[in-house]
Structure formats: structure tokens, C-alpha cells
Amino acid sequence: MKRVVVAMSGGVDSSVAACLLKEQGCEVIGVTMRTWGKGEDDRCNRCCGAADVEDARRVAQQIGIPFYAVNLNEQFEREVVRYFCEEYERGRTPNPCILCNEKVKFGALLRKALDLKADLLSTGHYARLVLDEGSGRYLLKKGIDPRKDQSYVLFSLTQEQLRLSLFPLGEYRKEEVRRKALQMGLRVHDKAESQEVCFIQGPSYHSFLSQRLIDSIGPGPIIDKDGTILGRHKGIPFYTVGQRRGLGLAKGKPLYVIGIDRERNAIIAGEERETYSETFIVDSLNWILPQDMNQSFPAQVKIRYKHPGSEALLHPKGEGEVEVKFRTPQKAVTPGQAAVFYDGDVVLGGGWIKEVRSSE
């Protein structure tokens, strides 16, 4: 019998994952990460707050499995929150979910699971794992529900992390998961989805960054590509490529953020057509299915979680970098975001967008 630790967030997905594994005959242990909030009075809408821990505990009690809450505040602050702030400070747009998966969930929490003598760590991610008999490597594939597929945020996992992982929901659609939760009488069957950046309370991250980066946020010029000053911005961390709202410019036509110049503390604005790019550099690569780095090769490339992916040609540029060239220019290719490479449903690998070149 496999002993499986399930990372239970208190939501419907991880709750159903625990149920499915118990039905399959696994010895299941529920564990919730406390990653944010200093006390049990934490009532805000953050993932893994006090209310979420209690929801997870009640589900574990209902289905008859042991349950533990582990405090990973320190690791989360160091690996995720600090990264989030530093990237915005650099004029880049971070993806904290990817770092949380890599460093905290499949890092610190996986180590806790192994301490409990578990064979595997399971989560409620909508993704699939397949062992490729030919290469002996674990392949990461998209979940069958295209609206919920989360393979993008798992691209940076190592072979060892994948070997020790389990994704029971990869073969399910979201509506099937909610239906199963209802049939089992789980109290979280209709619980709302958690927000994307779990440690940000409210609709905007501006106040959070203002507190964290109080000494490094300052106003500066908004300029066009020729350097003409169009207005003033409130601070580089408050802007991202492709953004239209919040520029405060009245120029008779819509203007968008098309670039951020950290050295000059400047936001570069332009028309919507100028937000499109076809060529960019990706570094800090992680290959789930290694490629021949001596020649170019095609792939579908996603440049953010909700991006549908687009056909591109990848040109290796030496150790740890590739140049990606889309067949069709894509909107808001953003430094700091992940670019993930696919061959159909299979994740080849990915990295982080380092530099973007204009399509003009």
C-alpha cells in the first residue's frame, strides 16, 4: 500500500484528490501548509490562512485520514514573497505560483512528506504524469480540462520532484470534481477558487509593494519609444507590459505600457500594436524532456498562465538560453514571466523571459 501525503489547501480540488486516493486504497495523510498570516485570527481571503486550515482539517476528519498543519512561513517568505517584491523592483513581472510549487510545495513540503515516510506527495493540480519507458524520464502533460490545465506552473520541477509527485485530477474536468465533492457530501464542494496571488489581500498588489519597497519606489517619466516625455508614473513596480489602465495619459488614443526601463526609472508607452512582439530570450531553462541544443526546433510556447500558446521556433543560444521566435507576434511578452514549451500535450521544458525584442 502506497503512503501518500496530500497537500490540502482547504479547497475542493485537493479535497477530492485525497478522496480519490483513499478510494484507490492508498494510505492517505492530509497536510496543510501555513504559509502566510501570523496567527489564528487570520481571516483574509488568502490561501492557507486559518479558515483554509480548518476547512482542510474538517474534510480530513470526514473522510477519516490523519491531518497535520505545518508552518512553512519562513520558507514562503524567503522563496516566494521576497522574490515577488524583488522582481517588481527590477521592472519585471513575477509568477509567484511557479516558485511556490518548485521551492515550497515540492521543496519544503515534500521533505516534510518524506519525513512522514510517505512514498509520494499529491496535490490537486490539473496535470498528468507519465513515465516514458524509453528514456526512463517522467513526462509532464497537460490536464484534460483545457480551462484548468496547470502544467504551466509546474514546468520548473525536477525529475526527482516529478518522480515523487502524484496528480489525481489530471484526468478529470473541473465540473466532474465539484460533482464528486457534492456526491461525497464534502462541505467545500462549492467553495470559491482561491485568488491567483494568495498572499495579496484585495484586488491590487500596490499597497503590499508600497509597504515592502518603501525605500525604492519613486515616481518617474512616462516616455514614448523616441524618449519624448508623455507624463509621470507613480513607481515602476506598479506597472507591467501590456497594461492600459492607470497610466493617466490623455493623448486622444489608448496608450499601453510597452516597456520598462529600470535604469532610467521610466515607463515606455505606445499604441496597442507596439505591445506585440515575436522574438525574445528565455534563460534559466529547465528541461523535462531534453532537446538537442545544437539545432533549432519547433514548439508551442505559452508566455503566461492564461495564454493559449502559439507556434514558435526555438534557437539555442548557448548554455541555459534559447531565442524564441513566434510565427505570429504575440501581445505583452513580459520579462519575468515564464515561457513554457510544449509538444502537443507534453511539456518539453521552459524558462524565464529575460529580454524582448520589438516586432517592428
| Confidence at residue 195, expressed as pLDDT on a 0 to 100 scale | 64
Told to judge if 26 belongs to the known catalytic residues of this protein, a careful annotator would answer no
| Confidence at residue 198, expressed as pLDDT on a 0 to 100 scale | 84
| Confidence at residue 42, expressed as pLDDT on a 0 to 100 scale | 47
All residue ranges of the chain with pLDDT < 50 are 38-45
Task: Give the C-alpha distances (Å, rounded to integers) separating 248 from 233, 234, 244, 245.
Answer: 8, 10, 9, 8
Q: How far is CA 46 from the centre of its chain?
A: 16
Residue among 139, 126, 260, 117 at smallest CA distance from 193: 126
User: How do residues 150-188 score in pLDDT, each as one tens digit?
Assistant: 999 999 999 999 999 999 999 999 999 999 999 999 999
From the CB of residue 157, how many other CB atoms can be counted at a distance below 10 Å?
26
Half-sphere exposure of 282 (CA within 13 A, CB side): 28
> For helices 50-63 and 12-23, what crossing angle results, to 10°?
20
- In the chain, the domains with their CATH numbers are 3-183 (3.40.50.620), 218-270 (2.30.30.280), 276-358 (2.40.30.10)
Phi/psi for 262 (5° steps) reads: -65, -35
From the CB of residue 248, how many other CB atoms can be counted at a distance below 10 Å?
11
Told to judge if 100 belongs to the known catalytic residues of this protein, a careful annotator would answer yes
| Confidence at residue 358, expressed as pLDDT on a 0 to 100 scale | 66
What is the model's pTM?
0.94
Tell the residue number behind the cell numbers 507576434, with chain if given: 329
- Helix (H) / strand (E) containing 5: strand 3-7
Q: What CA–CA distance (Å, rounded) separates 231 from 228? A: 9
